Amino acid sequence: MEFVRPRPNFPKKAVVTGGMPYGNKLLHFGHVGMAVRADIFARFLRDRIGKENVVFVSGTDCYGSPAVEAFRKLQQAGQYKDKTIRDFIQINHDKQYETFKNFEVSFNLYGASALGRSGEIHNEVSDWFVKALDNANMVSKHGSLQFFDKKNNCLLNGRQVVGKCPIQGCQSEKGYADECDLGHQYLPQDLIDPVSTLSGETPELVKVENLYFNLENCLPELKEWIASIERNPDTAPFMVKEIKEFFKDPEIYIKREYFEKLKEIKAQLPPHTEPEINEKAPSTTLIFAHLSDREKACEILAKNDIHYRTGKCMTPFRLTGDIAWGVPCPEIQGIKGQTFYVWPESLWAPISFTKTYLESIGKDKDEWKKYWCSKDAQVYQFLGEDNIYFYGPAQQMMFLSTQGKDWKFDAPEGSLQITKICPIKSILYMNQKASSSGAVKPPMADEFLKYYTAEQFRLHLMAMNLTNNNVGLSPKAFNPDAKAEDADPMVTEGNLLTNVYNRVLRTMFYTLQNNFDAIIPTAEIDESTMEICRKAILDVETFMYNKKFNQVFNIIDVFIRNINKYWVKEFNSADTKEKLAHLVANTMQFIAVADVLIHPVAPSGAERVADMIGLDKDKAFNWNNIFDKFYTWLDSSKQGKIVPIKEKEDFFKRHAWQLEQMYGNANK
């Protein structure tokens, strides 16, 4: 019995999201790198399940303290004097959209949480969402501590306080009011050495009532979720490991230098356990059964000048705050006049953007549910490892809680479903971690286009094994230590198209022009050729399903290089026009399949090749036809006639800067 290779099951409909850049800044290479990976997958899905079934959305994250603080500083420096913060965000949003467009990122909608129709719909979705959470008894009000600047007589928002992250082992450069720049969440009172950015002084802590999502009560469902995905081949092991770290009981870590003080006040602490340690251990651990007990212990330790750090665990997830620039929150449990904290509303913003897009193309107002609330659909969310906590535990449990009071992990049809998290490790810059708020600043995305084509950038990002490792980005154009003779890592993958595939295509076009009047001859295509194509197609499909983009590139790389080897091997024996037509037919099959496979990563180039070959793009870039012979993909109106090319014409081009480096101004 012949073995039939199993194929992955793709959803009938899909949403792809690619994170949300803050509205206070333009895009650096990391923003675009993430969006490019999401775009590659979205374009693949459009070819695989039909473009009418895929919605790819993102948008500017307009609200929150980063925008407020950035705008305040700019106005203080004399800029934007005649502008509002909304004007400031709109300017940045428009520039972000243009940058993404220049890198061929094909959002169905690049919205904005505060602007235009997407902003209006986002307000409506936010109102519905928090009421649904409250109806499920998953919202509580807590009198939490917030920083207050006495000199300026004002409460401080998240980015107006800077200190050190209290989470044990954290390597972040900056901690803010209740989260660090690596995404760790903690209580404001645990921030180490806080300083107000307004006054430069140590702020006070005052009690303010806010609304919280009861995330700490969701541990059973979170464990069920992780158990359901951790063995899947498309689940990143590092994501599972990181989320499981939050499953621990609340812990406090105290260094040896405070052991004597701790011994004196230990009886005052709430019930806890303390594992035995050896006499040389640098610290001890206090483990509590309840988060409230750990909070009380932290207060006692602080009063007695005992420095400590806290461990990861599930804490209540803040929903609201007092910052004026935010999405208005309706009155809940007597709390009114507040706005949403930026993180929760940004998690449901892709729903708002999906609704906005579907409305814009005339769909029914409930059409979004076919994408977000159906078991036949799947939402794929591409994000950096720093955001796993938010899109993982916080988002998944909030989504499930919208079912109502008796919500369960296996969400019924018609309710928000668990999404598929597609995280990546860090893209390092010159082998260092770069961030806008850190010591090493990332280059802005637009700078790359002065030296590299969008296709080269996209191919390089695709080939990075970011599902398992941090990977360095070291463009020669930005490396002051690079020598003239050094290879440029940024173009290594692009050379597959600008060198190898260009050569294959030119050879084929010259052959057709010189021997067949620029018309593709009709000849038999060997079954061995079809089988080689089938194998490459199925390999790409499997690796795409698992988001192993580096493996997808490897398959395409070998496939295209083998086209050239096949032609060289067979050409000398094609000594009659009939044999040459047979060789052309087989090679054209390889070329056509290669063009479909590179379409998600090099879309404009692949579509140009399709046009010049004379393919009907609706047939060619449609996986319902991918196992057919390429003749069935031809545009019948062109009758097999290709678009003739000139000598040394390139289908995929190098950047002008690269040509200047290679040949000087003569070829600029």
Sign of CA dihedral 356, 357, 359, 360: positive
Rounded to whole angstroms, how far apart are CA atoms 232 and 223?
15
pLDDT in tens, 437-459: 777 889 999 999 999 999 999 99
What pLDDT shows up at residue 3?
A: 65
What DSSP designation does 255 have? E
Phi, psi at 111, each rounded to 5°: -90, -160
pLDDT band at 187 (very low <50, low <70, confident <90, very high): confident
CA neighbor of 22 nearest in space, from 423, 342, 351, 496? 342
Q: What are the residues facing 112 on neighbouring strands?
A: 60
Long-range contacts of 367-370, Cβ-Cβ distance < 8 Å, separation of 24 or more: 369/414, 370/13
Level-2 CATH architecture, domain 249-310: 2-Layer Sandwich (3.30)
Reference 182, options 170, 164, 194; nearest CA is 170
State which H helix or E strand residue 161 sits in: strand 161-164
Task: Give the orientation angle of helix 549-571 with respect to helix 577-598, to 10 degrees.
Answer: 170
CB-side neighbour CA atoms (13 Å) of 302: 15
Residues in a beta bridge with 273: 287
Instruction: Check whether 668 has a pLDDT greater than 80.
Output: no
Residue 666 is predicted with a pLDDT of 46
Provide the mean pLDDT of the chain: 94
Helix (H, G, I), strand (E, B) or coil at 110: strand
Question: What length is written for the chain?
Answer: 668
Mean pLDDT confidence for 276-291: 94
Q: Which two tokens stand for residue 74?
A: 């700019």
φ/ψ of 313, rounded to 5, equals: -165, 170
Distance (Å, whole) CA 135 – CA 499: 60
Q: What is the C-alpha end-to-end distance of the chain, expressed in Å?
A: 60
Contacting residues for 565 by C-beta, under 8 A, at least 6 apart: none
> What value, to the nearest 5°, has the Cα angle with vertex 73 and ends 71 and 78?
95
Cβ atoms of 133 and 38 within 8 Å: the answer is: no
C-alpha torsion 512→517→519→522, nearest 10: -80
Alpha helices (runs of H) in 415-496, residue ranges in sequence order: 445-448, 454-463, 495
The yes-or-no verdict on residue 190 having pLDDT over 90 is no
Distance of CA 11 to the CA centre of its chain: 20
- Name the CA radius of gyration of the chain, rounded: 28
- Specify whether the CB–CB gap between 390 and 183 falls below 8 A: yes
Strand, helix or coil for residue 16:
strand
In CATH terms, the superfamily for domain 495-651 is Isoleucyl-tRNA Synthetase; Domain 1 (1.10.730.10)
Are 54 and 45 in contact by the 8 Å Cβ rule? The answer is yes
Is residue 65 very low, low, confident or very high in pLDDT (cuts 50, 70, 90)?
Answer: confident
Q: CB–CB of 555/536 below 8 Å? A: yes
CA of 616: how far to CAs of 46, 103, 353, in Å? 16, 25, 32
pLDDT number for residue 436: 76
Whole-model pTM: value is 0.92
Q: Which DSSP letter does residue 625 get? A: S
Assess whether pLDDT exceeds 80 at residue 185.
no
pLDDT of 169: 77
**Residue 44 pLDDT more than 70?**
yes
**Which of the 8 DSSP states describes residue 391?**
I
Six-digit token string for 138: 């998953």
Helix, strand or coil, per DSSP, at residue 647: coil
CA distances from 282 to 277, 285, 287, 408 (A): 9, 10, 17, 43
Give the pLDDT of residue 2.
59
Could you report the per-residue pLDDT of 454-484, keeping only the tens digit for each? Answer: 999 999 999 999 988 999 999 999 999 999 8
Phi, psi of 122 (to 5 degrees): -65, -40
Q: pLDDT tens, 522-553?
A: 999 999 999 999 999 999 999 999 999 999 99
Opening angle at CA 606, ends 604 and 611, nearest 5: 95
User: What whole-number distance in Å separates Cα of residue 460 and Cα of residue 496?
Assistant: 11
Helices (H) and strands (E) counted in the chain, each on its own, are 22, 18
Is residue 300 within 8 Å of 251, Cβ to Cβ? no
**pLDDT digits 0-9 by tens, 560-611:** 999 999 999 999 999 999 999 999 999 999 999 999 999 999 999 999 999 9
Task: Give the pLDDT score at 173.
Answer: 67
Overall average pLDDT of the 385-402 stretch? 97
Amino acid at 537: I
Residue 155 — pLDDT band, cuts 50, 70, 90? Answer: confident
Q: What percentage of the chain reaches a pLDDT higher than 70? A: 99
**Whole-number pLDDT of residue 650:** 95
In whole angstroms, give the CA distance from residue 529 to residue 65.
Answer: 58
Q: Which amino acid is at 354?
A: T
DSSP 280-344: T-SEEEEE-SSHHHHHHHHHHHHHTT---EE------EE-EE--SSSPBPPPBTTB-S-EE-HHH
Task: Give the per-residue pLDDT at 665.
Answer: 52
Residue position matching structure tokens 């059409």: 367
Band (435; pLDDT cuts 50, 70, 90): confident
Q: Beta partners for 175?
A: 163, 180
Contact by Cβ (8 Å): 106, 35: no
Comma-separated ranges of CATH 3.30.70.2250 domains in the chain: 249-310
Q: Secondary structure of 328-348 in the HEC alphabet? A: ECCCECCECCCEECHHHHHHH
Smallest CA-to-CA distance from 135 within 215, 223, 213 is with 213
Residue range(s) of every CATH 1.10.730.10 domain in the chain: 495-651
SS3 assignment, position 133: helix
Q: What angle do CA 571, 573, 579 make, to 5 degrees?
A: 85
Distance CA 193, CA 166 (A): 10
| Mean pLDDT, range 483-488, rounded to an integer | 92
Four-CA torsion 343, 344, 350, 354, nearest 10 degrees:
-150
**Closest to 387 (Cα-Cα) out of 345, 351, 438, 422:** 422
Instruction: Give the span between the Cα atoms of 298 and 581, in whole angstroms.
Output: 80
